[in-house]
Amino acid sequence: MTSPTTPDAAGEDGAEIPDDGIFHFRLYIAGQTSKSLAAIRNLTLLCDTHLPERHKIEVLDLAENPELAAQDQIIAVPTLVRSLPPPLKRMIGTLADPEKFLIGLDYSRPAS
């Protein structure tokens, strides 16, 4: 799990492997709907609880940047994409189930 690359160069397919142990999340929402807000809330809570100081959250609103939907292959909203650490993981929904979030994102795996 060692690879000397710049973390932010990691593309959609997550080919680059960073080693800073930071989780990069992109949350795609479409407008400020209740689902969107719930997802933001849940994600922030989960990260603060389980990944304190080890996460980066980027919220992308498709209502403002519709071209991102095609570019990043988004169908459902909210969609959470974990671009780092690899492999790239996707999760759809409001992230209401913490357990699913943790298992689905392979949280248990050591980050470094």
Burial, 77: exposed, middle or buried (Cβ in 10 Å; 0-12, 13-18, 19+)? Answer: buried
Binding status of residue 63 toward other proteins by CB under 8 A? yes
Q: Six-digit token pair at 41?
A: 């809330």
Please state, in angstroms and as integers, the Cα–Cα distance from residue 39 to each residue in 14, 29, 52, 96, 112, following that order.
23, 8, 18, 8, 27
Q: From 3-11, 14-22, 27-35, 48-56, give the range in contact with other proteins by CB under 8 A.
A: 27-35
Binding status of residue 67 toward other proteins by CB under 8 A? yes
Q: From 2-10, 17-25, 51-59, 75-83, give the range in contact with other proteins by CB under 8 A.
A: 75-83
**At its nearest, how many Å lie between other proteins and the CB of residue 23?**
15
Please state, in angstroms and as integers, the Cα–Cα distance from residue 45 to each residue in 41, 55, 82, 96, following that order.
6, 12, 16, 11
Residue ranges binding other proteins (CB under 8 A): 28, 30-31, 33, 35, 38-39, 42, 62-63, 66-67, 69-70, 73-79, 88-97, 100-101, 104-105
